[in-house]
């Protein structure tokens, strides 16, 4: 075979192999040939041109001003991320990059990335912001053609079939018109069935103009119901919902079980539209009404509502997980999730009562969901203005990571890891039949999680179900209506795959701002080898329901957990609470208590089962309370 034939064969093979290795080998071959004969100069030039061209196939560029008919280069970028994904060479191994330039990438349905994206499971893909750019993936649609009404409101027609649940101007969430604007009303007396109806005080709220569109929002101790109205009887002063208010499957969700006069408010009627940046959607006319300050015009504003139910789906299988995909510097915004037709009646942490009834609890979906995925990473990303939950590493996810990222203004949970009890394998609960399928060794590190549960108050900042070896470290979690971090999903010490979960060095404060019966950290179930260590928890001041809120709440079945070197202060009730827990170790913590509250509360828990070693306990009013507290705050900063 002559030199030309050898090079032809080498080039043909090279296009099917890793281009980086190909370039290295080809240059070695070129050096040898150049020494043999000057007659190969022309061939050398041709091969260098081929290897140079091969580099462009490993990188693609996308721009909102691009065109999907382009080649995907920096000078001729694609318009959509979907087109860049379609153009990835599936049968070539190596590393690929999709660069996103400045701008907003609108989409009406989620991006789907499946395990078959590459034939070689070791191939890597990075979707990243171009240097200096802030690309936004948005599932929203801009509202145009506003008309001003005589009463100073603005009106716009929504595309037929769309049902807005959230509305945003820039990165500001507008308030769905409600009464009262702040705070809550109180149920006067529950109806006879304690489930579907209640009575209110005379003239307590403006009579809704369209009760069919009005939604009742009622607060339980640790969850919330959002449900439509069947009737408002002004003569009897009685509200009746379209279905049971509160979860049907649990008897303690009777309306007056926790509070005799539970809190509620009404939402979405023109009669409630009385404050700037409030809005109302009229389902009969298909129009949005928006109230703005006199000096603002909606055509000059970026008014958006979400239409895509989810933004990104990373979906593999147990046999073929989707692997090795990273996201860097990208903002995810405007994911839609609509309340179910028979209402959202929360059970806990955005799991809710299925309607019609089934054995499984439903769960509020996340804008970004990974399932049967490995080595998926999000770094320096932003998750904002979302209608459901934020990010979910769900069934079978392993070694996935989110770091240095921001989560804010999210209707449901901020971050979710693992799953609950309901999935079935061979007709049995997965955690019994196939415990090896547990979400394993996933990490949340150096993230900020704030203003989650904006609409679904029972949401948590970071939720982990039945999961193993999760590492939640050095995160800042604050300004939440309910719990900061929740780990576990079994209300007894029954053995599950849940083990060796570590909550380390997180700063958690100003949580439990609306609901009760939670804490900075909430844990339950048998969790051998799990550790709650080095956390800084403070300002849990509102205790609205019947059950108390705490710095840490170790709930039913909590077993084999180490609680060590945590600083907890400014808590309305006890810094620590155990409920139906078994053996655990509480060691070298700094517990600052309000007067009249013990450092540890034991509810149906044998105090002797909780081993306590070298904890520092101070009660407000003691001589050195303030000095010691300031000293410890400096230590944990």
Average pLDDT for consecutive 10-residue bins of the chain (637 residues)? 40 38 45 46 42 57 98 97 95 94 97 92 96 97 95 93 94 97 96 96 94 96 96 96 92 90 97 96 96 95 97 97 98 95 95 86 97 98 98 98 98 98 96 97 98 98 98 98 98 97 98 96 97 98 85 97 98 97 98 96 97 97 94 95
Query: Tell me, what DSSP letter sits at residue 271?
Result: G
Give the pair of three-digit tokens for residue 338: 């609509």
> By C-alpha distance, which of 534, 479, 525 is closest to 502?
534
**Options 2.160.20.10, 3.40.50.2300, 1.20.1250.20, 3.90.180.10; CATH of 57-139+308-481:** 2.160.20.10
> By C-alpha distance, which of 279, 64, 301 is closest to 158?
279
Q: Compute the distance between CA of residue 416 and CA of residue 499 in angstroms, rounded to an integer.
A: 17
User: Mapped to the 3 state alphabet, what secondary structure does 36-63 carry?
Assistant: HCHHHHHHHHHHHHHHHHHHHCCEEEEC
State the pLDDT at residue 484.
98
Residues in Cβ contact with 145 at an 8 Å cutoff, skipping those fewer than 6 apart:
156, 157
Domain boundaries, the chain: 3-55, 57-139+308-481, 144-303, 482-637
Helices (H), 341-443: 430-433
What are the distances in angstroms from CA 114 to CA 172, 224, 324, 339? 33, 35, 12, 28
What are the distances in angstroms from CA 402 to CA 180, 393, 471, 536, 634? 38, 10, 11, 21, 28
Residues in Cβ contact with 634 at an 8 Å cutoff, skipping those fewer than 6 apart:
none
- Cβ contact 85:117 at 8 Å: yes
Query: Tell me, what DSSP letter sits at residue 335?
Result: -
> By C-alpha distance, which of 449, 436, 388, 443 is closest to 417?
443
Give the pair of three-digit tokens for residue 500: 């060796």
State the pLDDT at residue 57.
53
- Cβ contact 496:435 at 8 Å: yes
State the pLDDT at residue 438.
98
State the pLDDT at residue 116.
87
State the pLDDT at residue 92.
86
Put simply, whether the predicted model's pTM sits higher than 0.85 gets the answer yes
Terminal Cα distance for the chain, rounded: 71
- Cβ contact 488:466 at 8 Å: yes
Q: Compute the distance between CA of residue 535 and CA of residue 538 in angstroms, rounded to an integer.
A: 10
Residue identified by tokens 């009229």 is 282
- Cβ contact 591:567 at 8 Å: no
pLDDT tens digit sequence for 318-351: 999 999 999 999 999 999 999 899 999 999 999 9
From the centroid of its chain, how far is CA 305?
18
């Amino acid at each position: 075979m002559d030199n030309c034939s050898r090079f032809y064969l080498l080039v043909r093979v090279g296009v099917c192999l890793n281009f980086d290795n190909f370039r290295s080998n080809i240059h070695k071959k070129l050096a040898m040939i150049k020494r043999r004969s000057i007659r190969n100069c022309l061939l050398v030039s041709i091969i260098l041109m081929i290897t140079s061209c091969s580099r462009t196939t490993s990188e693609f560029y996308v721009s909102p001003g691009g065109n999907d008919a382009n080649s995907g280069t920096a000078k001729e970028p694609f318009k959509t991320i979907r087109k860049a994904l379609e153009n990835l060479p599936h049968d070539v191994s190596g590393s690929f990059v999709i660069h996103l330039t400045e701008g907003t990438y609108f989409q009406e349905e989620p991006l789907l990335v499946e395990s078959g994206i590459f034939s070689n499971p070791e191939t890597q893909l990075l979707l990243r912001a171009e240097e200096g750019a802030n690309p936004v993936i948005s599932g929203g649609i801009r509202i145009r053609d506003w008309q001003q009404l005589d009463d100073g409101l603005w009106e716009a027609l929504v595309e037929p079939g769309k049902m807005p649940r959230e509305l945003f101007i820039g990165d500001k969430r507008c308030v769905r018109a409600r009464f009262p604007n702040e705070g809550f009303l109180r149920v006067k007396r529950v109806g006879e069935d304690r489930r579907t109806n209640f009575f209110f005080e005379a003239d307590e709220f403006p009579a809704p103009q369209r009760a069919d569109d009005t939604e009742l929002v009622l607060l339980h101790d640790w969850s919330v119901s959002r449900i439509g109205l069947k009737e408002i009887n002004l003569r009897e002063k009685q509200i009746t919902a379209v279905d049971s208010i509160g979860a049907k499957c649990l008897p303690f969700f009777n309306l007056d079980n926790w509070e005799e006069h539970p809190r509620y408010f009404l939402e979405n009627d023109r009669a409630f539209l009385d404050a700037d940046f409030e809005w109302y959607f009229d389902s009969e006319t298909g129009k949005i009404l928006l109230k703005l300050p006199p000096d603002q015009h909606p055509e000059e504003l970026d008014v958006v509502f979400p239409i895509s139910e989810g933004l990104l789906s990373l979906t593999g299988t147990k046999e073929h997980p989707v692997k090795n995909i990273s996201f860097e510097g990208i903002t995810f915004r405007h994911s839609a999730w609509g309340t179910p037709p028979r209402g959202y009646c929360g059970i806990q942490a955005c799991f809710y009562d299925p309607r019609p009834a089934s054995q499984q609890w439903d769960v509020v979906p996340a804008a970004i969901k990974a399932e049967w995925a490995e080595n998926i990473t999000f770094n320096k990303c932003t998750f904002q203005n979302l209608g459901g939950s934020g990010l979910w590493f769900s069934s079978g996810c392993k070694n996935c990571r989110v770091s240095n990222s921001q989560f804010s203004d999210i209707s449901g949970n901020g971050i979710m890891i693992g799953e609950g009890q309901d999935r079935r394998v061979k007709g049995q609960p997965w955690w019994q039949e196939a415990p090896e399928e547990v979400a394993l060794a996933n990490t949340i590190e150096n993230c900020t999680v704030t203003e989650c549960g904006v609409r679904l108050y029972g949401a948590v900042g970071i939720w982990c179900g039945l999961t193993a070896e999760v590492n939640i470290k050095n995160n800042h979690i604050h300004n939440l209506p309910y719990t900061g971090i929740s780990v576990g999903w079994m209300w007894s010490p029954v053995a599950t795959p849940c083990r060796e979960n570590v909550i380390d060095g997180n700063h958690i404060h100003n949580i439990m701002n609306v609901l009760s019966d939670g804490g900075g950290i909430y844990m339950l179930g048998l969790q051998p080898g799990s550790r709650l260590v080095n956390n800084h928890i403070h300002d849990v001041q509102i205790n609205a329901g019947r059950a108390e809120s705490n710095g840490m709440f170790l709930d039913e079945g909590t077993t084999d957990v180490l609680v060590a070197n945590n600083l907890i202060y400014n808590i309305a009730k006890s810094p620590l609470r155990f409920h139906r827990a078994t053996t655990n170790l509480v060691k070298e913590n700094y517990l600052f208590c309000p007067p009249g509250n013990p450092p540890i509360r034991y509810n149906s828990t044998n105090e002797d089962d909780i081993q306590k070693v070298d904890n520092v306990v101070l009660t407000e009013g003691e001589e050195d309370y303030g000095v010691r507290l300031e000293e410890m705050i400096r230590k944990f900063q």
